[in-house]
A and B are shown apart, each in its own frame.
Chain A
Amino acid sequence: MAYDAIVVGAGGGGPVVAKELASKGLNVLLLEAGPFYNNPEAQWTHLENDANNPLTGYFRFGPEDRSQPAWYRETPQNSFLWQLSGVGGTTLHYYGNCPRAAPGVFSGYGGADAAKYDTAHLFPFTYADLVPYYEWVEATLPVETAAMGVKEHTLFEGCIRFGLTQNTTKDIGTIPQFRPQENAILQPSGNAALVTETQGHVNQLAYPKASGCTMCGYCFQGCKESIGAPFNLKAKRSTLASYIPMALTADTWTGGVGKAVTLVPNAFATKIITANGGTQAQGVTWRDTNTGQTSSETAKVVVLAGGCTETPRLWLNSGLPNPNGWVGQGYTDHFFDFVVGVFPFKTNSSRGVGSSARVDYPGVGGLEQVGIPPALQAFTMLFSESGIAGQYTNGGGMTGPWNGPTGRITGPLFKRLMSNIDNLMNLLVLTDDDVQSVNNVTLSTLNADDHGPVAKVSFPPGQRTARTIANREYLAKQATQIMFASGATEVYRLDWAPLILHVQSTMRMGLSAADSVLDAWGQSRWVKGLYVADNSMLANSLGGSNPTVTTQALATRTAERIYTTVFGGEAYVQSTAPVVSTDDRITNTIASRLG
């Protein structure tokens, strides 16, 4: 066998497994369907449509050649499925938010509010079991307590007026509390965030006069800051800037033990190869998205990390066993809602970090502040399950402490709200939503593409559990009241249709073999040597916490497990300290490894 391990997908989780195994001297092949942006400063603009148009942008789920259409997934309802291909995956445009999951979503939780959580779908181990892996990832990325800009300061003052206290720990507790985000974003240093400079006129903000976050407001378009900083020292720690450089230079920071990962972008996996009547993973077949050529490689271990939608698709297209029907089932999405406030003073909503303020509601979910540029801001107000406000309700049109009924905002009101983007404030509702098999990934009967039948992602409207709906209603009301407490004069609630961006649990691990695909270590129950290390492995929706860091902690744990049980190694996470992804040895080598 050419490789010890093949990892399918270089998004939030795949590079974590690749880096861990490579650091121990294993031979790792890391495949990624999308492109490898090895020169972000040249390849990325800060422009919204150029970056984020889901069909044509450099950030989309599609091939490297932007003149070719995006890859299709069938979505038979009003919804928006938003994931990225490319090395870094959806962490390319994420906000770096790294809140740990609520302790209540793990087995053995003894809090007084234990019954508030999705107790039928807990993690098959305790929160304490995962903490060492959280610490390892938080030290590696690294994760930092976020600084404030004007919009965060405005929100926090509102939270205090509203009667909330500040959580100053890493863990979600038992009462609602606000806090700055724990972000995988390097702290502003030097002139960063103290100076305004425009594109093409960077002087004070050039590395090393500035390093870390410059509060440019373009998290979602990919982080290039500070200008001139080395590839692995870009402020936002997408896996492209953190784990990938570590994986590509694993021979340099491991005392000679590690082996650099072989990264193959533009490689869309089409089949998991198995042996022994389909009970043992053997390798992967993939298609080069530029040439159309097919290749295969074998390995002792295969790790699937293509994300909540594509991992089940690959599994099903490979004809792998699914005896309890849970492959692709139980898709959670935090059932987002969106609340927009209008302020009589400047909030600087479009400036600063994309999201560096949140409020946690244990057992219910959370709120996070979101700052966005105009095209996205406009999108958020034309996205709803409640029809068009004032015209038709589509069975929604809920009233409450917000202005008017929920629904898409149109006409003169829309133009007025959009006339001063920096007088707005946005709060995203993250619901602790229940695992339900009716929300799922199946194979489309309508369509196939070059990689086989495409995924069909179903979130049928009107089917959420009572707990999920009650949680969301509560959070929307809280968001509205906090907005008014922060100084808003008008507040609008959109009642979003499913915006499938925070994705979890479609190949869930679980306590029982009857309702899970993976065991407690992320190994598939029915195919040996086949693991999952992306958000689909999560047992539930984490209580509403943004999923990436939990997936990365689990991926670390799964990688360590693979190392000890398959390759005879010693466990190391709990007894050693990790190398940080900003380590000089990585910085000094990475430029020569980018190709």
Chain B
Amino acid sequence: MTERSQFGRREFFVRAGVVGAAVVLLDAVDLTDATSPAVAGVPAPVASLLDQLATDTINGLIAFVVPGPDPYSVAQGVSDPVPGGIDADGTAFLLNALDNFFPVPAEPLSLLVQALATGLSDKVPLLPAGLTLNLGAPLELTTALDQVLAGLVGLNGSVPLSEMVALLLNFLASTVDPASITGTFLSPFSNLTFAQKASVFELLEVDSVSVAQMIDGNLPEPLKDSLSGLLAFLAGALLEFSAFGSYSEFGAFDPTTRQLTGVPVGWRTSNYLVDTNFVPVEGWDEFQGYIGNIRQVSE
């Protein structure tokens, strides 16, 4: 093990935005309070932190795919006065999909996160000078956090998929631009520019070899053979699902009654169903006859 990889777990969680979020959101007492209830083995304050970090990260993803006037779009340098994915509740859509329904089993992804968290190779660019692994936090906080995160790394499938995805996106963000670790948002990914966010997807989609090289030590089977395919699938799925959800009726839909609760943002911004005041139809007056006047072709 290199000296670098000795601090791998701490450095990984700095890069993944977890330590930064802890500095903002937690006190050491939150982590050492023995009466604090646990969520799947993780103290509730840390579970909440990871949840907030995931939301913050996916906000940055939704803004990337469907920019709008929101702060995440403004921060990335590509925004739009016309409402975008965040206004359409795209974040809730993707979090829901990832955590409740995405049948990509968490295990391969958690193996990757575990491998990254266990030790970072020298291929990972160094953190900038002045950025300590404590991020200015009191020692008691980071020590207590270390203990929690050590347990977290071994938890495999019980960390929600959205949090796993957030850790990965944020870690890769920190390799594209280490300055993203500290910024407006908890999530390093959300602190990137638009072009930098694209670079994260380039790493996932094109350069899984580089991702694999960031690990000090071997990837376990069967992940080794599957890494390239898994990351390429994930990169694609995150982008196309974000687009689908952001233009769907999700944000204006009551799942209990299966009725619309208002006009979906994406319908309004795409001028869909304008002529019926955004009410779905049972038929249009669309008939234009038969081309060539052929009502039925012959054999």
Identify the A interface with B (CB < 8 A): 45-50, 53, 55-56, 69-72, 75-80, 135, 144-145, 147-150, 152-153, 156, 166-171, 179-180, 182, 188, 192-199, 202, 205, 210, 214-218, 224-227, 348, 350-352, 373-379, 381-383, 387-388, 391-392, 394-395, 408, 410-412, 414-415, 418-422, 445-447, 497
Contact = CB atoms under 8 A, between A and B. Distances in A.
Contacts of B286: 149-150, 193, 215, 348, 351-352
B165 to A, nearest CB: 15
Given A198-B280, A446-B222, A422 B64 contact: no
B270 A169 contact: no
A40 to B, nearest CB: 13
A6 B173 CA distance: 54
A527 B244 CA distance: 44
Interface in B260-299: 260, 266-267, 269-272, 275-276, 279-292, 294-299
Contacts of A144: 296
B287 A418 contact: no
Nearest to B221: A445
Contacts of B107: 446
Contacts of A135: 299
Contacts of B202: 387-388, 391-392, 394
A216 B292 contact: no
A145 B294 contact: yes
A8 to B, nearest CB: 22
For A156, A215, A376, which residue has the most chain B Cβ atoms within 10 angstroms?
A215
A196 B250 contact: no
B79 to A, nearest CB: 9
B65 A196 contact: no
A203 to B, nearest CB: 10
For A50, A156, A352, A382, which residue has the most chain B Cβ atoms within 10 angstroms?
A382
Given A145-B297, A198-B279, A375 B266 contact: yes
B282 A214 contact: yes
B283 A419 contact: no
For B244, B271, B298, which residue has the most chain A Cβ atoms within 10 angstroms?
B244
Nearest to B274: A422
A430 B246 CA distance: 28
Interface of B: 64-67, 78, 80, 82, 84, 93, 97, 100-105, 107-108, 194-195, 198-199, 201-202, 205-206, 222, 226, 228-230, 232-233, 235-236, 239-240, 242-250, 253, 258, 260, 266-267, 269-272, 275-276, 279-292, 294-299
B299 A169 contact: yes
Nearest to B203: A392
B233 A78 contact: yes
Contact of B283 (A210, A415, A418): A210
A377 B283 contact: no
Contacts of A197: 281-283
22 contacts: A46-B281, A50-B258, A56-B100, A72-B103, A77-B229, A135-B299, A145-B290, A150-B286, A156-B291, A170-B297, A198-B281, A214-B282, A217-B284, A348-B286, A350-B272, A351-B284, A352-B286, A374-B266, A382-B240, A415-B82, A418-B269, A446-B108
A456 B290 CA distance: 44
Nearest to A454: B103
Nearest to B291: A156
Contacts of A145: 290, 294-297
Contact of A194 (B194, B233, B253, B285): B285
Contacts of B271: 419-422
A482 B172 CA distance: 42
B294 A75 contact: no
A153 B289 CA distance: 9
Contacts of B235: 78
Given A171-B299, A216-B284, A412-B80, 12 more contacts: A49-B250, A149-B284, A149-B286, A182-B297, A195-B283, A348-B286, A351-B286, A382-B65, A394-B205, A410-B65, A412-B78, A447-B105
A382 B260 CA distance: 26
A376 B289 CA distance: 27
Shortest Cβ-Cβ A-B pairs, 9 listed: A76-B229, A214-B283, A72-B103, A391-B198, A375-B248, A55-B101, A49-B248, A193-B287, A378-B243
Contact of A168 (B80, B270, B298): B298
B233 A79 contact: yes
A150 B281 contact: no
Contacts of A422: 271-272
Contact of A180 (B243, B270, B294): B294
Given A80-B240, A214-B283, A418-B269, A147 B289 contact: yes
A382 B242 contact: yes
Contacts of A205: 282-283
A410 B233 contact: no
A147 B258 contact: no
Contacts of A214: 282-284
Nearest to A76: B229
A149 B287 contact: yes
Nearest to A79: B233
Nearest to A216: B283
Contacts of A196: 275-276, 281, 283-285
For B105, B275, B288, which residue has the most chain A Cβ atoms within 10 angstroms?
B288
A383 B240 contact: yes
Contact of B266 (A188, A199, A224, A378): A378
A193 B284 contact: yes
Contacts of B291: 148, 152-153, 156, 166, 179-180
B288 A149 contact: yes
A240 to B, nearest CB: 19
A379 B250 contact: no
Given A147-B287, A170-B299, A198 B276 contact: yes
B103 A198 contact: no
A418 B67 CA distance: 12
Contacts of A182: 297
B247 A377 contact: yes
B258 A46 contact: no
Contacts of A224: 282
Nearest to B277: A198
B294 A168 contact: yes
A109 to B, nearest CB: 18
A194 B286 CA distance: 6
A359 B31 CA distance: 65
Contacts of B266: 374-375, 378, 418
B103 A225 contact: no
A225 B282 CA distance: 7
B248 A374 contact: yes
Contacts of A373: 272
A445 B223 CA distance: 10
B158 to A, nearest CB: 16
B85 to A, nearest CB: 9
A497 B229 CA distance: 13
Contact of B80 (A392, A415, A421): A415
A382 B205 CA distance: 14
A369 to B, nearest CB: 12
A196 B285 CA distance: 5
Nearest to A144: B296
Given A194-B285, A379-B244, A374 B267 contact: yes
Given A149-B286, A382-B65, A391-B202, A69 B297 contact: no
A411 B194 contact: yes
Contacts of B195: 391
Contacts of A78: 205, 232-233, 235-236
B282 A392 contact: no
Contacts of A180: 290-291, 294
A386 to B, nearest CB: 10
A391 B280 CA distance: 37
